[in-house]
Amino acid sequence: MTDNSSNTMWGGRFAAGPDAIMEAINASIGFDKRMATQDIAGSRAHAAMLAAQGIITTKDAEAIREGLLTILSEIETGKFEFKTALEDIHMNVEARLKELIGEPAGRLHTARSRNDQVATDFRLWVRDQIDTVIAGLVALQKALLGQADAGADWVMPGFTHLQTAQPVTWGHHMLAYVEMLGRDVSRFRDARARMNECPLGTAALAGTSFPIDREATARSLGFDRPAANSLDAVADRDFALEFLSAASISAMHLSRLAEELVIWSSAQFRFVTLSDRFSTGSSIMPQKKNPDAAELIRAKIGRILGATVGLFTVMKGLPLTYSKDMQEDKEQVFDAADNFMLAIAAMEGMVRDMTANREALRAAAGSGFSTATDLADWLVRKLGLPFREAHHVTGVLVAKAEAQGCDLPELPLADMQAEHGGITDAVFEVLGVDNSVASRTSYGGTAPQQVRAQIARWKEILT
């Protein structure tokens, strides 16, 4: 037999309760109960405003306030009973409020609708999540900065196409991700500033005839201002889309770093050793130490980007203002947020715990003719060759070294002079990896002095 208790919330319009299938597809309490704190905060602000405007009595407002605080305590201690028949968090809270305080509970919904209520709750939840995300990203930046500081002058190969390109420093490579995450933080901050408008008081879609003070409720809930158009306020989910879009970009950055950690921790590279806390073994191969945390982080972008595409698809064909389709917005955002925060936390742990193998980095830095560009630059600077000619001469010398099974610093001077007579033994000063990185002194370059300057800049930013 279907529970018809929800009918009291609808009044006299519906004589019979929904059947089990309709109840299941219509209910959202299974996931929107996560917005309980935000829902109660919104209701408290609304009740206080109603009393201040003389729309409800101070006595009723006080009863509502005390009742909402009781409900919040019940939820926080796990004593609150969420009922699917009551559909969503809003009606669950209101029904419990009526049980606690009686008639005054019915006055809480004056001058508002579930449409502006859910828009406010969801906006508050996403805003809170952005604050949590920013804190997590900054913590990860600090972990990367610690690695950069420790190895500001440690040489390692820089790559293009995953082929050795030019020597760089470990500190420089770590700072690249600090920069990426800095852009991520700025995107979230921009999104937060844009979303910080309060929908509460726009009611179902057209506003209300009650003399409400929307500025007061906006201030009470930490918003910068009330939303200026009631239709847009109810219909808008841009704030959730911006959150997911920013999360997708940031998760992509985490995935790139995760991929490098997978490669670097392999036996073939041995650039880093990941701690046991973020690795697993094999059920059959006792020698294995698998970078599972990194691999799972690498996969999270698919889940988060999927949520982004999913919400865009939900919203793309909806006329103004509210449609029940919009109930499908929250699960995707909640899931993406959970997985994004897990990825950030796991990456921070891995970065803090990992150990860079300085000797392996150095050995790899000198392989693959990584100082060939330094040789070409020397030919331009010292002998006045056009760069294209210097590029050709260097290419020939690389081919000679490859044929002899040696790297450029080991190629005999006579072989170099056979290709261009102006080459002197001074060329060997630029062919060492330390000299190579030290010479890249342009702003943003890999020279240790530049790396340390950027470390100092980021330390100041992140304090």
Encode pLDDT of 138-188 as tens digits: 999 999 999 999 999 999 999 999 988 889 999 999 999 999 999 999 999
Q: Which two tokens stand for residue 11?
A: 């009044």
Mean pLDDT lowest for which of 44-53, 427-436, 447-456? 427-436
From 161, 209, 283, 442, active-site residue:
161
pLDDT (tens digit, 9 = 90+) per residue, 297-354?
Answer: 999 999 999 999 999 999 999 999 999 999 989 999 999 999 999 999 999 999 999 9
- Looking at residue 15, its pLDDT comes to 56
- Looking at residue 4, its pLDDT comes to 47
Mean pLDDT of 245-249: 98
113 is catalytic: no
Instruction: Indicate the SS3 state at residue 91.
Output: helix
245 is catalytic: no
Mean pLDDT of 262-271: 94
Q: How confident is the model at residue 1 (pLDDT cuts 50, 70, 90)?
A: very low
From 5, 186, 282, 323, active-site residue:
282
Mean pLDDT of 413-434: 88
- Looking at residue 461, its pLDDT comes to 97
Between the CA of residue 435 and those of 160, 425, 446, what are the distances in Å? Answer: 21, 15, 11
Over 50: is that where the pLDDT of 5 sits? no
Over 70: is that where the pLDDT of 3 sits? no
- Looking at residue 108, its pLDDT comes to 96
Q: If 0-12 CB within 10 Å is exposed, 13-18 middle and 19+ buried, where does residue 11 land? A: exposed
CA–CA separation, 235 and 241 (whole Å): 13
Between the CA of residue 70 and those of 84, 93, 146, what are the distances in Å? Answer: 21, 11, 45
pTM score, whole prediction? 0.88
Q: How confident is the model at residue 17 (pLDDT cuts 50, 70, 90)?
A: low
pLDDT (tens digit, 9 = 90+) per residue, 194-235?
Answer: 999 999 999 999 999 999 999 999 999 999 999 999 999 999
CA–CA separation, 331 and 324 (whole Å): 14
CA–CA separation, 155 and 152 (whole Å): 9
Closest alpha carbon to 104 in 64, 47, 65, 68: 64
CA–CA separation, 364 and 164 (whole Å): 9
